[in-house]
Amino acid sequence: LVVLTVIDEDVLAVEHIFTVLTISGLIVTGCRVLIPDEHLIYCPEILMRTILAHIHYMPDSWKGNAHRQNVRDEFSLLFQYKVAYLLEELFSPLITPFILCFSLRHQSLQIVDFFRNFTVDVAGVGDVCSFAQMDIKKHGNP
C-alpha cells in the first residue's frame, strides 16, 4: 500500500481501502488456520498423557482407550470447549432473566428465604453467603 501510494496518491482516495484490506487479511488468516498440518501424527494416547500432565485426573476406564468415542464423551462432560464457554458467557445475561421469570417463578419464595437466612455481614467485606465462611460448626461437614 505504501509503494502504491508513492507511485500514485489516488490509491488512498479509494473509498474504504483500509476496510477492504483489513477484511481481506482476516479472511486469509482464517483460511490459513483451516489448512491442516501435514506433518502432524494423530495419536490419542499421547494427547491424553499430555492432558493428564495438566489436569492430574484420569479414570481407569480411559487408560488405553483414548481413541474410543465413550472416552471422548466422558472427557467432554468434564471439560467444555472454549467456544461453547464463550458463547454461554455471552448469552447468559440474555437467557438468565427468562429462566428466572419462567422456570424459577414457583420457587421464588424459597430463593428469597435462602438469601434472608444465609446472608451474614462480614466486617470490611459486606454481605456474603454464610457458606462462604466455611464454618463447620454452623453448617456441618458435607
* Domain range list for the chain: 1-35, 38-79, 86-139
Q: Are 139 and 130 in contact (CB under 8 A)?
A: yes
Q: Virtual CA dihedral for 48, 53, 89, 19, nearest 10 degrees?
A: -80
**111 Cα distance to chain centroid:** 27
Nearest partner of 63 among 50, 49, 75, judged by Cα = 49
Q: Specify the pLDDT at position 8.
A: 67
Q: Specify the pLDDT at position 121.
A: 92
The series of mean pLDDT values per 10 residues for the chain, 142 residues long, is: 65 68 89 85 87 88 90 88 92 93 90 93 91 79 67
Q: Specify the pLDDT at position 78.
A: 87
Q: Specify the pLDDT at position 85.
A: 92
Give the Cα separation of 28 and 21 in Å (integer): 10
Find residue 120's DSSP bridge partners. Answer: 128
Q: Specify the pLDDT at position 29.
A: 92
Give the Cα separation of 43 and 112 in Å (integer): 52
Predicted TM-score (pTM) above 0.75: no
Q: Specify the pLDDT at position 94.
A: 94
The percent of the chain in helix, strand and coil, each rounded to the nearest 5, is 70, 5, 25
